[in-house]
Amino acid sequence: MLPNFSYVRPKSLDEAVRHLDSPENRIHAGGTDLLGCLRERVFGVAKIVSLSGIQELKGITETAEGGLRIGALATLREIAESPLIRSKYPVLAQGAAEAASPQLRNQGTLGGNLCQKPRCWYYRGDFHCLRKGGDLCYAMVGENAFHCILGGDACYIVHPSDTAPALVALGATVRITGAGGPRTVPVEEFFVPPTQDLTRETVLEHNEILTEILLPPPPQGLRSSYRKVRARRSWDFALAGVALALQFRGEEVAGGRVVLSGAAPIPWRSVEVEEVILGKRLDAETISAAAEAVVKNAEPLAQNDYKLPLFRAIVEEELSAIAKV
């Protein structure tokens, strides 16, 4: 049984923000992550503020500039099946399709997928770990097969989202509304690494709501893809993943981003790979150098050095595949 809480389903954003007047009050979008955290007593809750009655948070529409506006409540299923997203931003449709299970994709939202809590078993379990205000990251010396190889610092979670790397790769932004008014943040700057602040995963304040995700118009020559490796085919979080959004000029990579999932506490932009491939044709030599570069700065823990060959392999395979599109 879940802990006790009061519940409200406001009809407007303003009203929802007014209900977020305490950090004890929590936002419910799809609820799949929230209810899991409450059941596992990861955090407490006084009031649940449901967004499901707010129409303006729904829908996927083209913007006047030729980009896309995705309401934060668009479900992962809607993202995965949207003809617009599949044709213009395949990396995002693929990321959404690879996330969770059919049932969870029918319920979970894109906004919620960006705001989900870490999946570290010490964080989710009955451990008063560093991120929960304790003084030790149990993963540092404990069972750390599924933890990060990049960007760890005192805390070694991996970011669990499959859509976030796609959105970072595409240069998306999020719109946020709160008591202090609206603001826009690049998805790349939305996530907070442990080096910056151990106690939070995003820049979202307790009284703010992520309202929409904005995709820029696809640049000329854009090719994009998402690859995810997991322990079983049916459904699981990524052991290793790579989102590519590259702009080609002829056969040459003229720009774009390479973003990793399953690697770091935040969706991890691999500047090392980008530097190798920028301005180059994706021939065997370049691809081989890129595969080495992806783990150049990796610092694996005792049980997760298997991720190094995994990342090398998927970077090699995905770059080879995208070169042939």
- Select 90 or 256, whichever has its Cβ closest to another protein: 90
CB of 127 to another protein, least distance (A): 17
The span from the CA of 172 to the CA of 67, in Å, is: 10
Backbone angles phi, psi at 247, to 5 degrees: -100, 125
Question: Which one of residues 44, 59, 66, 102 is an interface residue with another protein (CB under 8 A)?
Answer: 102
Can you spell out the DSSP letters for 36-85?
Answer: HHHHTTSS--SEEEE-TT-GGG--EEE-TTS-EEEETT-BHHHHHH-HHH
The answer to whether residue 55 forms part of the interface with another protein (CB under 8 A) is no
Question: Which one of residues 13, 69, 106, 171 is an interface residue with another protein (CB under 8 A)?
Answer: 106
The answer to whether residue 233 forms part of the interface with another protein (CB under 8 A) is yes
Contact 57, 71 (CB under 8 A): yes
The helix/strand/coil state of 95 is helix
Site for another protein in 64-93 (CB under 8 A): 77
- Select 97 or 246, whichever has its Cβ closest to another protein: 97
The answer to whether residue 1 forms part of the interface with another protein (CB under 8 A) is yes
CB of 109 to another protein, least distance (A): 13
CB of 110 to another protein, least distance (A): 16
The answer to whether residue 40 forms part of the interface with another protein (CB under 8 A) is yes
The answer to whether residue 235 forms part of the interface with another protein (CB under 8 A) is yes
The answer to whether residue 141 forms part of the interface with another protein (CB under 8 A) is no
The answer to whether residue 39 forms part of the interface with another protein (CB under 8 A) is yes
The answer to whether residue 47 forms part of the interface with another protein (CB under 8 A) is yes
The span from the CA of 257 to the CA of 224, in Å, is: 10
The answer to whether residue 5 forms part of the interface with another protein (CB under 8 A) is yes
The answer to whether residue 15 forms part of the interface with another protein (CB under 8 A) is yes
Give the range of 29-37, 164-172, 249-257, 273-281 binding another protein by CB under 8 A: 29-37
The answer to whether residue 288 forms part of the interface with another protein (CB under 8 A) is no
The span from the CA of 218 to the CA of 40, in Å, is: 41
2-29 burial string, b = 16+ CB within 10 Å, else e? eeeeeeeebeebeebbebbeeeebbbbb
Pairing of strands 183-186, 173-178: antiparallel
The answer to whether residue 36 forms part of the interface with another protein (CB under 8 A) is yes
Q: Exposed, middle or buried: residue 216 (CB in 10 Å: 0-12, 13-18, 19+)?
A: middle
Give how many residues touch another protein by CB under 8 A.
39
**Gap between the terminal Cα atoms of the chain:** 50
> CA dihedral in degrees (193, 37, 165, 168; nearest 10)?
-60
| Edge-to-edge order in the sheet of strand 222-229 | 222-229, 240-249, 252-261, 268-269
Question: Which one of residues 23, 24, 35, 43 is an interface residue with another protein (CB under 8 A)?
Answer: 35
Question: Which one of residues 13, 69, 86, 107 is an interface residue with another protein (CB under 8 A)?
Answer: 107
Q: Applying CB under 8 A, which residues contact another protein?
A: 1-12, 15, 18-19, 28, 31-32, 35-36, 39-40, 46-48, 50, 52-53, 77, 100-104, 106-107, 233-235
